[in-house]
Every structure is written in structure tokens, then in C-alpha cells.
Structure 1
């Protein structure tokens, strides 16, 4: 990465987007935005009730994330977003064409154990299966890297930053 890019930290719930995102942003010297903060109250209420969001719920949220990414183009930034489907990532790219993705991946059992251990988050573990079922991994034509979430947050962030520094933009 020779110029500041906007990085979207993606993955299913419980992979550590909110923990790893700020660490990566700090290492890159760019601002971090928590994607969950862009959800309207209706989305949070729906997820808190154990109801998965549908695409109609996600489009305005993705548009808000895309606007933030667009505003950071040329300056860099890191934002978290599950970005589980290619269509969601395409929508983000339409708003900010130079973005790249950091896909946090992990074994379902590890992710579930981390979700079970966290407090104060609206996403219940009951929705984890729907997240894994929805997940479409990055395509070869998508700018991004995959990083396994085993280890400490610092180890994961170090691996992520190293991988991002070697990322070549996809034409």
C-alpha cells in the first residue's frame, strides 16, 4: 500500500472487527470508524431480538459506510462492516472505489466462544449460523486479504498490517 487506502475490516460477528479495527488503524496512522455506529436504531432492535437483517435493512447502512469511506478517500481510514456478501462489498466499492478489505476469518467454535465471552453487544450468538451461511469470501478480483483470528488481538493486528502492507490494488 503506497497511498492511504480505506480498509474495511469484514467478517462474521465475533471475529474481532471492533477489537482489531482500531489496532490496525493506529498502526497505519489513520482514523477508525465503528461500523455498528452507522446502524439505524431499527436495525439494532431487530438484531437484539435475534432477527437477522435482510438486504433492505442493510442498504441504507452500507450507503452510510460508503459515504464515510468516500470522504476518507486519499486520506485513509479503517471501518468495520460484516460485508458478508459480494453485493455488499460491491456497494461499498461503488461509493469508494479504492477501498480494500481485511477479512477476519476463524473457526466457528472459536468465534462462538469469543461471542459468548463478550458483554454489551447487541448481536446474539443465535445469529452466528446465519452469518456463516451468508458469508461469501473475497473473490480473486477483490482487493483484500484474509487473516486468521487465532491468537491475541495484537498478534492478529500485526499479521493484518503486514498483509495489508503487501496488498496490491486490484484493477
Structure 2
């Protein structure tokens, strides 16, 4: 690689971008940096992959926060009238009157669907191609939310399930 007076690259490396990567040397305890020349297209593709990984990471992070948002929504009903709760959430799926005079309103949601794993494509030792279709997976998402009512007011709540989120 040759550097011009202006600081830019000239010669065969002018169409490439110099990047630094980590590589493992022969010594198992030694890690060093190696210079690698890649084309601008390869660098752009690497940027595209990194952007997608960042987007996926943010989505995963957001999915963790949605249960907390659900918890905050359910907790916001403490001290509110039962009539307001039923007006907002609709008729409960189950109503249970306790011996102590409290009432428990239960709301249930459930969604089932089937997805498939990614198909497998491989190459055998003899150069043949192996293809296996994806396997079906049943997804069962559900959430059960309970509100305890005493004297016409929400005094407690609980929820359980793998789809309690907003």
C-alpha cells in the first residue's frame, strides 16, 4: 500500500478499505490484531450485518421491557373502581367470590400457532447435498390476569404466563 502526500491510498490498495480484526495466533494464550484489506462492497455488507444485529438486539431488549410495561398497566388499577376496570378490560372470563367477601376477576388470553425451524442444507463428505425441511413447532402464548376486588375497588392483582406484555 502506498500513501500519497494528501494522506490517501494509491496503488492496488486504493480500492480497498483497511480494517483491523482480531486473530488468534499459534500461541493459544496470545491474541493480536491483524490488518485485513477488504473491498468497499464487503465492508458495506459487514455494516449491513452489524445494523441488522443491532436492530435485533434492540428488539430483544424491548421484548424484555414489555412485561414490565404490563406489570405497570396492571398495577395502575390498584384503588380504582371495579366498574372502571370492567369498562376498560371488558367482561372477565371468570368471576370468583371468596368466603371473605372479596371478588376475583380473571382475564385470560391464549394464542396458539405453528411455526417451523429453518430447513437444513448440508454437504456430505462426497460432495453431495443434503436437504431436510424445517420441523414444525407449536407455540402456545397465554396470560392469566387476576384482579381482587374488595368493596367495589381493586385491592390486589397478579398475572402469570408467557405472553403477559404490552
Alignment TM-score, normalising by the size of structure 2: 0.22
Q: Which structure is higher in helix share? A: 1
Alignment TM-score, normalising by the size of structure 1: 0.21
Q: Which structure is higher in strand share? A: 2
Q: Looking at CA atoms only, which structure, 1 or 2, has the larger radius of gyration? A: 2
